Amino acid sequence: MLEEWEHYFRNLKEIRNSLKGEQILKGEKHDKTDDPTRIYIYASRQIKQKIWNDLSVELSDNSIPDEIAHEIYVGQYLRFCQSKEGKRVGRERRERPEKTEEMFRKDVIGWCRRELLKQNQLDMDIVRAVGEEARLSSVNDDVTFAVNERISSLTNLAKPFVPDIPGTSSVITWGLNSRAVARLSVSQCNTLFGTNLLEDDGFSPYEILCYGSKYGLKAEDFTKFSCGDGDIKPAGTYYRAYQRKKDMMMREPDKYVTPHLDKRWHLPAYMPDLNMSQVIVDEGKINKAFLLGIIYGVLKEVDEDGKKIWLCLSGDGGVEAVKIHRKPVDAEAHFLYNALSYNPGVVDKVLTKVGAKKRQDIRDNPRPESIDSHTFIKGCREANILERIYMLPYAEPANDSLPSIVKDKLMPLLLDEISGYYASLYGPHRTNIAGKNAADFIQNLKDNVLALNEESSDSYFIVWNTALAEKISVLGG
C-alpha cells in the first residue's frame, strides 16, 4: 500500500505539468476559432480566469479540501484492493505515469467538475451570459445595450457566403430557448427579431441560432460555375474544367468517363448549360449551323440503301452521318434541326467548314459584282432556304415549339445573315447599295415561296409577311 502511495505522489509533478499545459490550451480555446460563423460568449481566457478566481475562493482555501482528500484515499484504497485480488497484476506497474494521471483525473478533477456544476455562476443561459460578459469586460455599463448590440451583430455573421445579386431575396431566422427569451423584454424581442423568432425548448439555452438564407440565386451567379463575360469576367474554374471534359468526350466519346450520372447529360438536348448566357450561345450555334449548313451544302441529304439521311461534310473532306443514339437521322429538315442539339460536335464541324468556305469565296471573288457566284447566295436559292424554314412547323410529327423557334430565331437569323453578307462584301462605304441589293435578294426569295404569296389570315403567315416587309423596307431605304 505504501508503495502505491509513493508512486502516486512521485508522479504528481509530471501530472501537474501536463494539466497546466492543458489548462492553457483550454483557456485560449475560444479566443481563436476557425469557423467565422460561430462566436463564443463569456468564454475568453481573461473571463475564464476571473470566474475561476471567484469560484476557487468559494470551493476551498489553500489547503486540500477534505472532500478531495477523501476521493484520493478511497480511490487509492479500492484500486489497491482490486490489485490484490489479481485483477490488475503487472500491467499497472509498467504504465504507472499514465495510470497515475488517470487516477488523478478521476479522483480530483472529477470531484472539481461535479462541484463546479453545482455553482449557479456557471449555469446561465445565453442572454445572461452576454450581459455578464459585458459586465466583466467593462466594455459597456449598460447591459441592455450590450445585449442588443451583441445579438444584432449576428445578422451579418449569419449571411450566407454567396454573391449579392439584385433581385434575390434574403430571410433571417432566429432560434432561442424559452429560458433565454424570458430575459428579454417584449420591445427587445420585437427590435432584435421582429417576426422571425422561433422560440422552442428544443434549442439549447446556451446558444442563439441565427440562420440566414438567400433565395433566387442561379448556379451561374457563383463565380466558379460562371461561363464569364469575355475579358471583363473570365470563366470560372469549375466551368473551364467541365468544358475541357466535354471537349475530350466529344473528340473520343468511348475513351473518357462522363462526369454525370447519365453519359448523355453533357449534350444540350438532355441538359442545357447552367449559364443562361451560354444556353443562348449554344442555341445560336445550333440555329446558325442548321441554316448555314444547308445553304453551304455542308449538311446534305443523301440516299443510303434506299433511305434518305443527313450527312455532314468535315474539314478534311470526310463525311459522317448525323445521328441520334447511333441511328442516322431521316432527311427531313425538322429532324435535322432536332438532331443538332444531340450533336454539338457536328455543330462545331459545320460552323468551321462554313467559315472556311466563306473565306474562300471572298478570296476568290472579292468584288461585289461577283456576289451571285458565292456559295452563300447560290445556296440560298438552290436550297430554297426561305421556304424550307417557313414550312418547318408544318412537318410531321407536329412539334409545338417549332413555330416560335422559326419566327423568333431562324427567320431573323436568316435575314440578318443575308443583310450581313451583302454589307461585309460591299464594305462600309457602300451600305446603301448593299442594303438595297440585300432587300431585292430577300424579295426574290420570298417571291419563290408559294405559301407566302397566297392570302391567309393565319397568324403565323401574318407574322412572316410583316417581318419580311419590314426588313425589306429597312434595307431598301
| Better-scored residue on pLDDT, 105 or 379 | 379
Q: 424: which 3 cell numbers?
A: 461585309
Query: Per residue in 284-326, pLDDT tens?
Result: 999 999 999 999 999 999 988 889 999 998 767 788 999 998 8
Residue 10 pLDDT > 90: no
Query: 2-10 and 66-84 are packed helices; what angle lies between their axes, rounded to 10 degrees?
Result: 120
Residue 121: CB atoms within 10 A of its CB come to 11
Question: Exposure string (b/e) for 271-303, b if CB count within 10 Å is 16 or more?
Answer: eebbbeebeeebeebbbbbbbbbbbbbbbbeee
CA 169 – CA 217 distance, rounded (Å): 9
Residue 98 pLDDT exceeds 50: no
Mean pLDDT of all residues in 317-341: 91
Q: Which helix (H) or strand (E) element contains residue 304?
A: strand 299-304
Query: Angle 161-145-39 (CA atoms, 0-180°, nearest 5)?
Result: 35
pLDDT for 305 equals 83
Mean pLDDT of the chain: 86
Domain ranges of the chain: 2-117, 126-217, 384-477
Write down the pLDDT at residue 323: 93
Whether the predicted pLDDT of 152 surpasses 50: yes
What sign has the CA pseudo-torsion 31, 33, 39, 42? negative
Contacts of 194 (CB under 8 A, 6+ apart): none
Provide the whole-model pTM.
Answer: 0.71
pLDDT of residue 55: 74
pLDDT of residue 460: 92
Distance CA(472)–CA(477), nearest Å, equals 8
pLDDT in tens, 117-135: 777 667 889 998 888 888 7
Whether 180 shows a pLDDT value over 50: the answer reads yes
pLDDT score, position 376: 96
> Which one has a higher pLDDT value, 148 or 181?
181
